[in-house]
Each structure stands twice: as C-alpha cells, then as structure tokens.
Amino acid sequence: MTALPPWPPRDWRAFAALVFSVLGAVALTVLIGLLAWMLMPAQGWNILTEKARADTIRVIAWICAAAVLLVLTGLGFAINRRALRGRWGDKSLDWEGGDEVAREPEPDR
C-alpha cells in the first residue's frame, strides 16, 4: 500500500477543493438531468399541468443556486485565508484562520 504524499496543509486543502468542485459539478449535472427527465411529456406533463411544471422548474433552480453557493463557498474556504465577520445588534462575530503567508528565509550575512 502506498503512503500519502507529504504535502503541506495548503496543498491538501487545494486538492480537497478540486475533488469537491468536481463532485459538485457531477451533482448539479445529475440534478439538471433529473429535471429534464421529469419534464418530458412521457412523464405525464401536458398543457394542463403548466403551472406545476413551472413550479418544479422554480424549485429545482433554487436548489441548483444553493448548491452552487455551497460549492463556491467551500472552494473559497479551502483555498484562501479564511475570515468571517458578522454583526447583529450589539453582538459581533470575528473568526479568522488559515495559513500565514510563507516568507523567504533571510540569507546569512
């Protein structure tokens, strides 16, 4: 059995971001395919069910938009330095983390 490569944490996060972006694209493609299959005339859709068809498209579109938002947020947190700030009335939230910027070692003098 081969050992995992000795990558730094930032590379592992970038790899995870790549894997999850591919999985997110696959999930969204399957969802759109399911929508197309559900709206085919063979599934019982006809002119009398136009409102139900429009409602189905609207719901699937919102699900796709939420999935895209989750994928992009996950990619941002996986690759970039993370910071989250919020304020509600007199309460606030401050959260930061991530890799420090790598610095070149100073040459010996």
pTM for this model (two decimals):
0.48
By the 10 Å C-beta count (0-12 exposed, 13-18 middle, 19+ buried), 52 is classed as exposed
Q: Calculate the CA 52 to chain-centre distance.
A: 29
C-alpha distances out from residue 66 to 3, 29, 60, Å: 37, 14, 10
Domain membership of residue 60 (yes or no) is: yes
Helix ranges (H only) for 39-88 are 50-79
Q: Based on the structure, what is the number of domains in the chain?
A: 1
Is residue 19 in a domain?
yes
Q: Is residue 106 part of a domain?
A: no
List the domain range (segments joined by +) for residue 79: 9-95
Q: Is residue 32 part of a domain?
A: yes
Asked whether residue 84 is assigned to any structural domain, the reply reads yes
Q: What is the pLDDT of residues 49-108, one digit of tens each?
A: 778 878 888 888 888 888 878 777 777 666 666 667 888 889 888 877 655 555 556 666
Model confidence pLDDT, tens digit, residues 18-50 = 787 788 878 888 888 887 777 776 667 777 777
Q: Is residue 102 part of a domain?
A: no
